[in-house]
Amino acid sequence: MNNLKLPTIMNEEKKHTIDAVEEYSQELKLSHIENGIDLDLGALIEERHFNHKTVFENDIPIVSFNGIKALSLGNFSVISGKPKAGKGFSLSLIIDGFLNDNDVIDSNYQERKKVVHIDTEQSGNHAQRLTNTVGKLGGNNDLIDGYWFRGVAPEPLIKIVDILIEKHHKDAGVFIIDGIRDLSRTGVNDQEESTRLFNKLLHWTQAYNIHIIVVIHQNKADKNATGYLGGDMVKKAELHLSVTKDKTDGTYTIEAEDTRDAPVDSITFMLDNDIKPIVVEGKQGSIKKKTAQEYDRSTHIAVLKRIFNKGKGLTRQELKNKIMYEYNVGDNKANTFIEYFIDPFNKLMSEEGTRQKRQYILSENNRLI
């Protein structure tokens, strides 16, 4: 098991056997919610209560795409794609961004910077490509620990993931499970088994306050992740990234299919002669507009109607947050949108009140002209 160190309570004869994994797995501390034993509903309700003053330790952003929050602690994300679509290279870009920052992906999180890569589909040599590619990108790949478990049955695989998360979570903020379907005992179309695996992901991410990236295949006929398992993962993930390859020009595209937060830009890359992903401009039809001036007035009116759908004025921060969400721009760019809207020449919005109590309203008494 790649020199996996199991606890010292095991004798040498049992050390690297499935029995040893089974024994240690039973010793792991599982939540009462997960195992359903002696669950105190009153205590659970009290523990899960929140209001506007509550500060959650998880949901800490750890990865951003072009300045937009993409991944956070206490959650999981999904990368899906067809075979040979570039999922592994996409993972390399994301992990390089987390560890080293690059042109499109970065991280302000500085605590548990280690990454644990668990590959259930490939040989050790192929699984190591992720680590090697991060190194080719010019960054530090010393903080990536990899394990390959191709051919291992689902039951021991889940117990192995238990062990690895327990072993590494104090130093690692990101875990990758490349081949989540291999943890399923009955394939991807068993709804009960899918729910069981989803509950395991919730337990791992919440109990250890980590982020898990799971990789799953797409159906041959469409871009949907395979089976009940893929459907459940996608619906409940913090972010679902779809990876596709354009065979005509050799480009790969990472596209956010679903996200709980502000939409993130698509990322297009090619492989250079060293088999290293190089980010390139997106295709002409998908280039993102960067300034307020690039949008039609009718588009701005439709967006502002959504922003002010309650008919009330907004503080600058409230307005900025909504602009960042609607237009998929960062903080500084959102400020330029506000200045464009309140410009007398455009007459889309006006300011009212003093500096500390200033609010923004739609032009002409909350009516767009």
Same domain, 206 and 345: no
Taking phi over 0 as left and psi of -120 to 50 as alpha, with beta for the rest, 78 belongs to beta
In total, how many domains does the chain have? 2
Same domain, 341 and 264: no
Amino acid 214: pLDDT: 92
Amino acid 269: pLDDT: 85
Q: Domain end: 226, 256, 286, which one?
A: 286
Query: How confident is the model over 316-334, as pLDDT tens digits?
Result: 888 888 887 777 677 788 8
Distance CA 318, CA 64 (A): 21
Same domain, 100 and 203: yes
For residue 28, tell me if it sits in a domain: no
Of all residues in the chain, the percent with pLDDT exceeding 70 is 79
Phi then psi dihedrals of residue 28, to 5 deg: -65, 145
Q: In the structure encoding, which two tokens stand for residue 32, read together?
A: 């009462």
Same domain, 233 and 121: yes
What's the CATH code of the domain at 323?
1.10.10.10
Amino acid 211: pLDDT: 93
Amino acid 88: pLDDT: 86
For the chain, which residues score pLDDT lower than 50?
Answer: 1-18, 21-22, 24-30, 32, 36-37, 284-287, 365-369
The one-character DSSP state at 281 is P
Decide if 67 contacts 330 (C-beta within 8 A): yes
Same domain, 321 and 216: no
Decide if 197 contacts 184 (C-beta within 8 A): yes
For residue 308, tell me if it sits in a domain: yes
Question: Burial, 82: exposed, middle or buried (Cβ in 10 Å; 0-12, 13-18, 19+)?
Answer: middle
Query: How confident is the model over 194-211, as pLDDT tens digits?
Result: 788 888 888 888 889 999
Same domain, 279 and 171: yes
Same domain, 156 and 303: no
**Maximum C-alpha span of the chain:** 82
User: The domain containing residue 233 runs over which residues?
Assistant: 61-286
Same domain, 257 and 341: no
Average pLDDT of the chain is 77
